[in-house]
Amino acid sequence: MKKIINDPHQVVQDMISGMIQAAPDQLKHIEGTTVITRKDAQVVKKVGLLSGGGSGHEPAHAGYIGKGMLDAAVLGEVFTSPSVDQVYKAIKAVDSGEGVFQIIKNYTGDVLNFEMARELAEAEGIKVAQVVVNDDVAVEDSSFTTGRRGIAGTVFVHKIAGAKADLGASLEEIKKVAEKTVANVRSMGMAISSCTIPAAGEPSFTLEESEMEVGIGIHGEPGIERKNITTADQIATELTEKILEDMKLTENDEVAVMINGLGATPLMELYIVNKKVQEILQNKGVKVYRTFVGEYMTALEMGGCSVTLLKLDDELKKLLDHPSDAANFLVK
Amino acid sequence: MKKIINDPHQVVQDMISGMIQAAPDQLKHIEGTTVITRKDAQVVKKVGLLSGGGSGHEPAHAGYIGKGMLDAAVLGEVFTSPSVDQVYKAIKAVDSGEGVFQIIKNYTGDVLNFEMARELAEAEGIKVAQVVVNDDVAVEDSSFTTGRRGIAGTVFVHKIAGAKADLGASLEEIKKVAEKTVANVRSMGMAISSCTIPAAGEPSFTLEESEMEVGIGIHGEPGIERKNITTADQIATELTEKILEDMKLTENDEVAVMINGLGATPLMELYIVNKKVQEILQNKGVKVYRTFVGEYMTALEMGGCSVTLLKLDDELKKLLDHPSDAANFLVK
Amino acid sequence: MNFDVNDAKEWLKKANEKIADNKQLLTKLDQVIGDGDHGINMARGFNEAAQTVNEKEYDNVSDVFKDIAMTIMSKVGGAAGPLYGTAFLRLSFSLKGKDSIDYKDLVKGLSDGLTGIKQRGRSKVGEKTLVDVWEPVINEMSETIEAQPPQIKDTAKTAMEKTKEIMATKGRAAYFKEKSIGHIDPGSMSSYYLFLALAEVLEGRQS
Amino acid sequence: MNFDVNDAKEWLKKANEKIADNKQLLTKLDQVIGDGDHGINMARGFNEAAQTVNEKEYDNVSDVFKDIAMTIMSKVGGAAGPLYGTAFLRLSFSLKGKDSIDYKDLVKGLSDGLTGIKQRGRSKVGEKTLVDVWEPVINEMSETIEAQPPQIKDTAKTAMEKTKEIMATKGRAAYFKEKSIGHIDPGSMSSYYLFLALAEVLEGRQS
Ligand SMILES: Nc1ncnc2c1ncn2[C@@H]1O[C@H](COP(=O)(O)OP(=O)(O)O)[C@@H](O)[C@H]1O
Ligand SMILES: Nc1ncnc2c1ncn2[C@@H]1O[C@H](COP(=O)(O)OP(=O)(O)O)[C@@H](O)[C@H]1O
Ligand SMILES: [Mg+2]
Ligand SMILES: [Mg+2]
Ligand SMILES: [Mg+2]
Ligand SMILES: [Mg+2]
C-alpha cells in the first residue's frame, strides 16, 4: 500500500483537521465527533440539511457544506457508515428548531444508522425527515432486496435540497423536491483500477492489465460485467445507454450531466468521455442544461468514472442554479 | 497503458471538444487551432491574459479561463509546448487593442515558442508583455542554466494577474504585479507513482513499491532524491522546509497555501498533508490568509502532491480575493 | 433459574472473547460477500461494550443490556451496529422493572430482540442475514421450560452453516446475487458466537 | 558554384529522410536526458516541411528557406521547433534578393542562422545543445572558398559525438545535471543529420 498518510487508523481524524484548517471561516468541527458543520450552524429559521456516510468519497460529503447546500456532514471510517450516535450528534448540531433533513445513500449500514439516529432525535421532539438516494442503475431496482446503491447522483440531491432549504422551505417541501430529484436521477460507473482501504492495506479487488469492470460501486462492489477495456467512446456509450434504458428521455427533455471521476482518472479523460455523452444526448434530441465534469463522488484512488443524468423541470433548474457557497460546488 | 481514451494521438482534440461542450456559454474554441478563449473574447478595454503549455496538467490551463482570470489558453500536445503559430493565434484571439499579457511556465520549449509568437505579434503592432514563472525550489536558481521550472505556483500568477487585468490595469501594471507574484511564490512536489504519455504508451519513469521521488517536476523531470516513502507528516515537513529555506518568512508574514494533487492522489491525503503544513507555519508564527486544497496543476495520473506558498501583501490579498468566473478557480 | 447481573456480564465477556478470537475469520467471510469489515467492526464494539459493563455496578439486568446496546450502536457502525444494538435495546426494555428473571423472561426478551432486528432490517428468515440464526435458535429455546444448552449450541451451529445455501437478498451480500451462494453469512457467524456464549453461561448456572 | 532552388529542396529532402530513418534513435536519446519527444517532433515537422516545399514552385532560394522555417516553427513544437525555425528564417533573410548564391553566401547565411539559434536559446558552445554542432561546422566551412564535403561530414560527426562529454546547462537535459554526462545530445544528433544531408548535396553539385 502506497499512500501519503500517517497512521492508517487515524486517516479520518487527520483529514478532518486538515479540512477545518483549510477553511476555518466556513467549517466547524464538533469536538469529540466526526461531524463537520457550517461555521454558522445552527442557522435560524432554516431546516438543517445533513448528509454523510463512510469516508473515502471526498469531496463527498464535507466538501458540499456551505450556504445553499449542506449544513453538516457526518463522516464514518473509510467505506464504513457512521454510527448512530455520530449521526444523532450531527442532527442536534444543525437543528435550529425547524427540523433536520437527512440525505442518505442507499446502503444498509447508512440507512440503519441514520434511521436510528432519527428516532433518537424524534424522541426528543426534533423533527427529522429524510430521503434515500438510489441512482445506480447497475443494480436492479427491487423492493425485495437492498436495492440500488446511491452514488454520484447524490450530489445533485444535496444541491437541490440545499437550495430549497436555503430558500426557507419547510421540511415537507424539502422532502418533496428531494424525492422528485431522486426519482429523476440515474447514474452508472466503471473502473479500470482498484483502491486500497488504509486500514485493510490490500486492494479491495484486482483487475488484469486489460480488464475493466462496468457497473462497479463506489466501494468496489461488483458491477455488471468484467471485460477487456475498450475506447472512451464505447465506455461512454455503454454507461449512457444503460441509464437511458432506465430513464426514458424524449426529444426536448432537459437534463443536467455529471461526468464524475472516481479518484485516479485525469480530468483529460473525463472530458473525452463527456464529448461522447453529449453527442449521444444530442442525437436523441435531449437538451443539456448544465454539465459538471470533475471529481464529485470518489472511491479513494480508484481509476474510473461514472455518468449521471438528472432530468430537469423548471423547479429543479431554478434550484440547481441557486447560489451555493459549498467549497466543492460553488455556484454564483 | 490503461486509459479511458480513444486514439492516443487525438487526446488533445477530443479533450478540447469535451471541454467546450461542458461549458458552451463560457468557452470558445478557435477553429483549426488548439486555442480556447472566453466566449466573450476579445474583451474591450481590457488587456488579454494568455497562458498555456503542454497538455496533461488539467485543469491547467483551460480551467482557469473566465472573467477575472485568463482570456485564453493555448494547448500543446501532452507535455509538449504549443508551437509558435498556435501561440500567435491565441494572442490575436484575445487582443482587443489594449495588448496581451502572457504567463509562461519556465521550460525552454514554452519560453521559446511564446517569445517568438510575441515577436510575430509585435511585428504587427500588437503590444505583448510576459512573465516567466519559476517557482519550483527543487531546481537551483541560476541564470547560467535553464533555471527553475514553473509548477503549481503558476495558478496564483494566473489568478492575480487576471484580477489586475479585470480591474482595467495597463499591460505595464499587470507585468509589475505578476513579477511581484513570481518573486513571492515557491513550490515543491513529490511523487509516489508515475504517469504515462498516451502517445508514448509506457510510463515516463518507474518507482519501486516502497519508493518516492522528492522534488519531481510535473512532467516527471528528476527531483532531488529518491528514497523510501515516509509519513504524510514527514513529506509535508520536507517540502515545506525546503520552500522556507528559499523564501525567508518571518513572524506575522501572511501567506496563501496551495496543496496540489498531481492526479491520482485522493483529496483525503491532500488534507492530511495540509494538516501538517498548517502546523509548521503556525509554529513559525506565519499567518495563513487562504488555503487551496485540490488538483490545480496535475501531471496526468501521477500519484503525489506539491506544496506552494505565496507571500502576500495587501495588494496581492485584494487581487487573490477578487471575483473569478474560471470554472476551476471560482471566487465569489 | 434466575438470570442475574453477573450472568449478563459473563455472557458479554464470553461473547467478546469468541468474537476477538475469530476477528480474522469474520473479516474474511465479509471480504468474500461484503466489504471485509465485519470482524473489525464487531471486535471494536464488543470489546468496548465488555469493558463498559465490566467496570460498572448494576442493580438490575435491564440496565446492563441497555449499556451494551448503547455501546454497540456507537462503536460497531456498519449494518451490524444498529442491528445488534436494537436487539439488546429491546431485550433491555422487555426486562425492565423485573428484579428476578427466569428462563421464560429471558427467551421473551430475546424474541423481542429478534423482532427488533427484523423490523430494523426489514428482513425475514431466508435472506442470508443474522435473522437466519436468531429465529431458529429462539424457536428452539421457546419450546423448553428450562434451558437446554446443548440444543442451543447445535441449533445455532446448524443454522449458521445453513446460511451457505442461501442467496442473499439483504445487505451488501445482495449485490453478489447468485455469487453469494456457497459462503457463510458473516453476521450469522457472529450471532453463532453470541448464542454459543449464552449457552455456556446457562450451562454454568445449572451446575 | 551556384546553390539554387533545387539544391535547397534536395537538402531538405535528404535531411527529412535521415531524420525519419532515425526517429527512434532521436527519441531514445531524448528519453535518457529529456522528455523523449525529439524524434517525434522533428520527424513530424521536417516531413511536413519537405512536402510543402516539394509541391511548390519557387523562383528564389530565400523563399524556399522561409517556407521551411515557417513549417518547422508551426509543426515541430518543443524547444527544437523555434530553434531550427529561427535558423532557417535567418538563412532566408540573409539570402533575400540574391538571384545567384555562391558558397560564401551560403556559409554567411548559415552563420546568421547559428547566431539566431544562440540568441533565441541564450546559449553558447559547451552547453550540450545543437550549438555544439553548428558552431564547429560553420567555422570549418568558413575556412574554405569552395565546399569540402568530406570535412563537413567529419567535423559534424566529431562535434556530435563530443557532446557526450558535456554537462548540460540548457534545455531539459540541464535538470539531469551531472547525470547528463555520457549521453549524446539529441538536438546535436538531429543537427548532424542536417549537415550530413547538406554535405551530400554539395558533393552532388561539384561532380
Ligand atoms: N437488512 C438486514 N437485516 C438483517 N441483517 C442484516 C441486514 N443487512 C445486513 N445484515 C447483517 O449484517 C452483516 C454485515 O455487517 P457489517 O459487515 O458490520 O456491515 P456492513 O455490511 O455495513 O459492512 C451481514 O452479514 C448480515 O448478517
Ligand atoms: N537553450 C537552448 N539553446 C539551444 N538549443 C537548445 C536549448 N534548449 C534545448 N536545446 C536543444 O533542443 C533539444 C531538445 O529538443 P526537443 O526535445 O524537441 O524539445 P523539448 O526539450 O522541449 O522536448 C536539445 O537536445 C538541445 O539540443
Ligand atoms: Mg462496512
Ligand atoms: Mg518536449
Ligand atoms: Mg461489512
Ligand atoms: Mg524533448
In a mutational test of the B interface, the residue from A13, A195, A233, A272 whose CB has the highest number of chain B CBs within 10 Å is A272
Which ligand is nearest to the Cα of residue D19, counting in written order? 2
Q: What three-state secondary structure class fits C129?
A: coil
Distances B189 to A225, B203, B303, C69, C79 between C-alpha atoms, Å? 38, 19, 11, 48, 41
Backbone torsions φ then ψ of A71, nearest 5 degrees: -90, -25
pLDDT tens profile C122-132: 999 999 999 99
pLDDT band, residue C206 (cuts 50/70/90): low
pLDDT tens-digit readout, C161-174: 999 999 999 999 99
Query: Would you state the cell numbers that stand for residue C61, as one nine-digit string?
Result: 439486568
Please state which of the ranges A164-173, B46-55, C21-30 shows the lowest mean pLDDT: C21-30
Q: Residues D149, D11: contact at Cβ < 8 Å?
A: no
Residues 6+ apart with CB under 8 A from C36: A197, A200, A204, C27, C28, C30
Please, do chains C and D touch (3+ CB pairs < 8 Å)? no
Average pLDDT over residues B28-43: 97
Distance from the Cα of D207 to chain B's closest Cα (Å) equals: 40
> Which residues of chain D lie closer than 8 angstroms to B220, CB-CB?
35
ipTM, interface predicted TM-score of the complex:
0.93
Inform me whether the pLDDT recorded for B82 exceeds 80.
Answer: yes
Q: What is the pLDDT of residue D133?
A: 98
B57 flagged as catalytic: yes
Chain A nearest C-alpha distance from B102 (Å): 23
pLDDT digits (tens, 9 = 90+) for B115-148: 999 999 999 999 999 999 999 999 988 878 889 9
- A240-254 b/e (C-beta count within 10 Å ≥ 16 → b): bebbbeebebeeebb
pLDDT tens-digit map of B251-266 = 999 999 999 999 999 9
Contact D120 B112 (CB under 8 A): yes
Mean pLDDT of A46-51: 98
pLDDT at B105: 98
The arithmetic mean of pLDDT across residues A211-240, rounded, is 96
Contact of B237 with B283, CB cutoff 8 Å: no
Question: In the prediction, which pLDDT does B185 show?
Answer: 98
* CB half-sphere exposure, B177, CA atoms < 13 A: 26
Mean pLDDT of chain B: 96
Question: What SS3 state is found at B201?
Answer: coil
Q: Which residues lie across from B74 on neighbouring strands?
A: B35, B52
pTM flag (> 0.90): yes
Distance of CA B22 to the CA centre of its chain: 21
Percent of chain A whose pLDDT exceeds 70: 100
| Distance in angstroms (rounded) separating the CA atoms of residues C106 and C61 | 10
pLDDT for position A171: 98
Residues of chain D predicted below pLDDT 50: none
Q: In chain C, pLDDT over 70 holds for what percent of residues?
A: 99
Q: Do the Cβ atoms of B266 and A298 come closer than 8 Å?
A: yes
pLDDT at B200: 83
The mean of the pLDDT values for chain C is: 95
Beta strands across the sheet bearing B185-193: B225-228, B211-214, B185-193, B303-312, B254-261, B287-294
User: C26 in ligand 1 pocket by Cβ < 6 Å?
Assistant: no
Give the DSSP H/E element, type plus range, for residue A27. Answer: strand A27-29
Question: What's the DSSP call for residue A25?
Answer: T
pLDDT beyond 90 at A323: yes
Question: Across the interface, which of B80, B81, B112 has its CB nearest the CB of D83?
Answer: B112
Tell me the mean pLDDT in the region A152-170: 98
Q: How far is C159 from chain A (nearest CA, A)?
A: 21
pLDDT band at B59; cut points 50, 70, 90:
very high
The span from the CA of C183 to the CA of C166, in Å, is 9
Contact (Cβ atoms closer than 8 angstroms) between residue C129 and residue C171: yes
Residue ranges with CB less than 5 Å from ion ligand 3: A 80; C 35, 37, 78
Residue nearest to atom 13 of ligand 1 (CA): C187
State mean pLDDT over A278-298. 98
B109: CA distance to ligand 4 center in Å? Answer: 7
pLDDT for res B199: 86
Q: Across all residues in chain A, what is the average pLDDT?
A: 96
Q: Is the CB of C160 under 6 A from ligand 1?
A: no
**Residue D206: per-residue pLDDT:** 66
- Per-residue pLDDT, A200: 83
Q: What is the pLDDT of residues C48-59, one digit of tens each?
A: 999 999 999 999
Determine if ligand 1 sits within 6 Å of the CB of residue C170. Answer: yes
Closest CA to A166 of A74, A47, A63: A47
Chain B CB contacts of A209 under 8 Å are 2
Domains detected in chain B: 11-183 (3.40.50.10440), 185-331 (3.30.1180.20)
SS3 B86: helix
Read off the pLDDT band of B222 (50, 70, 90). Answer: confident
Distant-in-sequence, close-in-space partners of D121: CB < 8 Å, separation ≥ 6: B108, B112, D79, D83, D129, D131, D170
Is residue C191 pLDDT above 80, yes or no?
yes
